Amino acid sequence: MRRTFAVRVLCLFCFAIFSSVSLAADAFSVYRGASSLGRGHAGLAGSEDVDAIFYNPAALLANKEEENRERLVLFSPMPEVSRNISSVIAKVQDDSDSEKVSLVDDLVKTPLFVGFSNFSGIIANRFAIGIVTSAFARAFAFKDLEFSGLETVDFKAFTNLGLITSYAHDVYEGVWVGGTLKYLDRTQVTASLNLSDIKEIKELSIDNYRNKGKGYGLDVGSIYRPPLLQGESYRTQFALTVDDVGETQFAKTEKDGPPLESIKQTINLGATFAWLWDGTKLTFHGDYRDLLSNNETNSFKNLHLGLDFSLAEKVGLALGLNQGYPTASVFFGGKFVRLYIGSYGEEQGKKVGDRPDVRFFTRLSLSV
């Protein structure tokens, strides 16, 4: 009987995950860059184009050094899914009790994640404006020691629609600064239910855990390029960013429902070292996020390292470590059409090794 209740909750939450993706929106970071994810989710000092808007707006000035960087991004959809998504779908559709019990056991060990993001807008030499839509949903089960080891399902989903604008300025030689102003319309669903909530489980409705809100946020970033560490065949950059300055809060548009989670301020450091020759580029990226541990107290989870290699900006390979888990991606195409395919690991528990989640992603960007 206990297993049956857990399965009911889990199936409802899995349904909510898939439906939330179709709404278009996000969660923790509003946007995740495909190029960054492949190299360990690093790139504060080396992001370019659309990624610069969300990772470090000062990096938009890199477009000034490249010819014909201005463009209109028509769409750039990026779906993300956990590696175990296919087995979860199969077990949800299977009517046998053994498969449903197995589903609960699987989610005790491995989280389930589904995500989607898209940016459409204008990218110029030092300015950008556009609309971002993104989605994030995560579910996992665990045995709650506070309730005698009963299975508990934890579910969290966000959907966002945002208007984003960025500007960058070169203060003096080697020093760039920039800012991104964002308006976000957010829907949030969060719930944590265990088998002691029998009455609540029987009457389960997603509406009881959903709320909506609107908020404004500001990200600021800077890049320093030491003159002595720049040359024709090499480039060095350091970055300091502050995301969600003062905390991005959401004013509820519906009085009922749970409170909306704010996006906490984070202070971040990054560095890149690039070597260039005959149209080929090899770059090392290193980031340390959340210096003051506002979001994450585990230092190892804040570390992101990666390498990327590109040939004439037509084809590229990236490798890295995200929170200690391997990442990899490849890209094909040029300025107007580009396809990314990759994979990365991310920790969903309190420390590395608790609840690793391996995910796959792909992004197709079309511009004119």
The residue ranking higher by pLDDT, 1 or 74, is: 74
Whether residue 68 is predicted with pLDDT greater than 80 in this model: the reply is no
pLDDT digits (tens, 9 = 90+) for 171-180: 988 999 999 9
The per-residue pLDDT for 259 is 84
pLDDT grade for 49, boundaries at 50, 70 and 90 = confident
Whether residue 99 is predicted with pLDDT greater than 80 in this model: the reply is no
Whether residue 310 is predicted with pLDDT greater than 60 in this model: the reply is yes
Comparing 137-151, 217-231, 272-286, 327-341, the range with the smallest average pLDDT is: 137-151
Q: What share of residues in the chain are helix, strand, coil (percent, to 5)?
A: 25, 50, 30
CB-based contacts of 327, cutoff 8 Å, min separation 6: 37, 38, 39, 40, 41, 306, 318, 319, 320, 321, 342, 343, 344, 345
Domains within the chain, CATH numbers bracketed? 2-367 (2.40.160)
Whether residue 114 is predicted with pLDDT greater than 60 in this model: the reply is yes
- Identity at 88, one-letter amino acid code: V
Prediction pTM value: 0.84
Comparing 55-64, 91-100, 120-129, 246-255, the range with the smallest average pLDDT is: 91-100
User: Smallest Cα–Cα separation from 320: which of 340, 341, 343, 300?
Assistant: 343
- The whole-angstrom separation of Cα 202 and Cα 9 is 9
Whether residue 120 is predicted with pLDDT greater than 90 in this model: the reply is yes
Whether residue 110 is predicted with pLDDT greater than 90 in this model: the reply is no
- The whole-angstrom separation of Cα 175 and Cα 300 is 29
Whether residue 14 is predicted with pLDDT greater than 50 in this model: the reply is no
Facing residues of 345 across strands?
Answer: 358
Whether residue 342 is predicted with pLDDT greater than 70 in this model: the reply is yes
Q: What is the mean pLDDT of residues 97-126?
A: 76
Q: How many CB atoms lie within 10 A of CB 359?
A: 22
The per-residue pLDDT for 260 is 87
Whether residue 44 is predicted with pLDDT greater than 80 in this model: the reply is yes
Q: What is the mean pLDDT of residues 47-56?
A: 91
What average pLDDT does the structure give for the chain? Answer: 83
Residue % of the chain over a pLDDT of 90? 54
The per-residue pLDDT for 6 is 46
DSSP string, 145-167: GGGTTEEEEEEEEEEEEEEEEEE
- Identity at 249, one-letter amino acid code: Q
- The whole-angstrom separation of Cα 185 and Cα 265 is 18
The residue ranking higher by pLDDT, 130 or 207, is: 130
- Three-class secondary structure assignment of 219-269: EEEEEECCHHHCCCCEEEEEEEEEECCCCECCEECCCCCCCCCCECCEEEE
The per-residue pLDDT for 335 is 80
Residue 293 C-alpha from the chain's centroid: 18
Coil, helix or strand for 94?
Answer: coil
The per-residue pLDDT for 289 is 94
Whether residue 27 is predicted with pLDDT greater than 60 in this model: the reply is no
pLDDT grade for 1, boundaries at 50, 70 and 90 = very low
Q: What is the mean pLDDT of residues 324-344?
A: 95
Whether residue 357 is predicted with pLDDT greater than 50 in this model: the reply is yes
The per-residue pLDDT for 131 is 98
Residue 248 C-alpha from the chain's centroid: 16
Coil, helix or strand for 330?
Answer: strand
The per-residue pLDDT for 175 is 96
pLDDT digits (tens, 9 = 90+) for 253-304: 877 778 888 999 999 999 999 999 988 999 999 999 999 998 888 899 999 9
pLDDT digits (tens, 9 = 90+) for 126-160: 999 999 999 998 877 766 656 566 667 778 888 99
Q: How many residues does the chain have?
A: 368
